[in-house]
Amino acid sequence: MAQRNVILLGGPGAGKGTQAERIVADYGLPHISTGEMLREAVAKGSDMGREAQKYMESGQLVPDEVVIGVVRDRLAEPDAAEGFLLDGFPRTVPQAEALDAMLAEAGRAITHVVLIDVPAEELVQRIAGRRSCSVCGKLYNVTFDPPRTAGVCDLDGGELVQRADDNEDTVRSRIAVFERQTAPLIGYYTDKGLLRNAPGGGKLPDEVYAQVGQILAD
C-alpha cells in the first residue's frame, strides 16, 4: 500500500483528535499530536514544558522553533518511517515549510491534508463540552458524544477531565490564533493540490469520518 503521510487541519475543537483516533485504528499510522506531546512535557516539568506552558495557558502558539524541533525528533522514530498522522501540526506557514524541508531531506512528502471545517461559533460550544479520560485519553463530548455513564470512561472506568486550556477565554484566543496564523495553511496546501475538505459543521463524528475515510482511501 502507498505510504500515507497525513495532516489533519482544523480549528480548536473541530474534531481532529476524535478523527485521529479512528484513522489510527483503521490505518495503523502513528498519531503525532503536538498538543499532546507538549501537555506531556508540561506534566513532566521539563525545561521545554515550562517554556511551552505559558503560551498554552493563554491560548497562544508555542514558538515555531520549539515545536519544529519536537516534530523533527518524533518523525525520526522508526514507527514514523512507513507513514504518520500529524494532528495540530503544522499551525503556521513557517512550520509547514520546515516540515516540507525535513521530509524532502528524507525523499518523502505529505500525501494528504484533510481540513475539518467547523464554524467558529460551533467550536466554542463543542470545546465547552469536551472531556477526556484521565487514564487512557479517549475523547468525549458531554453533548455530542457522551459516555454511557456521565463522568466515566466507557473503556476503562477512568475519570473524565477537562483540559486546562478549554475554558471560554482561552478558547476565544485559540480560535483567533487559528484564524490569523493557521488558516493561511488552507491556501498553502490548496496551492500544492493537497487540500481536501471534510465539512464538520453540525455533524457527528461518524458522519465526518465517512468523508475522511473516503479522502484517505484515494
- As annotated, the active-site residues are 16, 91, 130, 163, 174
Nearer to ligand AMP, 61 or 216 (CB): 61
Q: Which of 166, 167, 140 is nearest to 152 (CA)?
A: 140
Question: Do 161 and 152 meet the contact criterion of CB atoms below 8 Å apart?
Answer: no
Instruction: Please pick, from the candidates 41, 67, 110, 195, the single residue that binds ligand AMP as defined by CB under 6 A.
Output: 67
**Cα dist from 81 to 5, 10, 156, whole Å:** 10, 25, 31
212 touching ligand AMP, by CB under 6 A: no
Question: Do 36 and 29 meet the contact criterion of CB atoms below 8 Å apart?
Answer: no
Query: Smallest gap, in angstroms, from Cβ of residue 35 to ligand AMP?
Result: 2
91 touching ligand AMP, by CB under 6 A: yes
Binding mask 156-185 toward ligand AMP (x if CB under 6 A, else -) reads: ---------x--------x-----------
Binders of ligand AMP in range 94-133 (CB under 6 A):
95
189 touching ligand AMP, by CB under 6 A: no
88 touching ligand AMP, by CB under 6 A: yes
Binding mask 17-56 toward ligand AMP (x if CB under 6 A, else -) reads: -----------------xx--x----------------xx
Instruction: Kindly state the number of chain residues that form the binding site for ligand AMP, as judged by CB under 6 A.
Output: 17
Kindly state the cell numbers that stand for 11: 480549528
Question: Do 99 and 71 meet the contact criterion of CB atoms below 8 Å apart?
Answer: yes
The stretch among 88-96, 106-114, 117-125, 127-135 that binds ligand AMP (CB under 6 A) is 88-96
138 touching ligand AMP, by CB under 6 A: no
Query: Smallest gap, in angstroms, from Cβ of residue 1 to ligand AMP?
Result: 28
- Rounded to whole angstroms, the Cα distance separating 20 from 104 reads 24
Q: Which of 111, 87, 99 is nearest to 1 (CA)?
A: 111
- Rounded to whole angstroms, the Cα distance separating 54 from 79 reads 31
Kindly state the cell numbers that stand for 107: 525523499
For 1, the enclosing helix (H) or strand (E) is none
- Rounded to whole angstroms, the Cα distance separating 31 from 144 reads 23
* Interface contacts to ligand AMP, rule CB under 6 A: 12, 34-35, 38, 55-56, 59-62, 67, 88-89, 91, 95, 165, 174
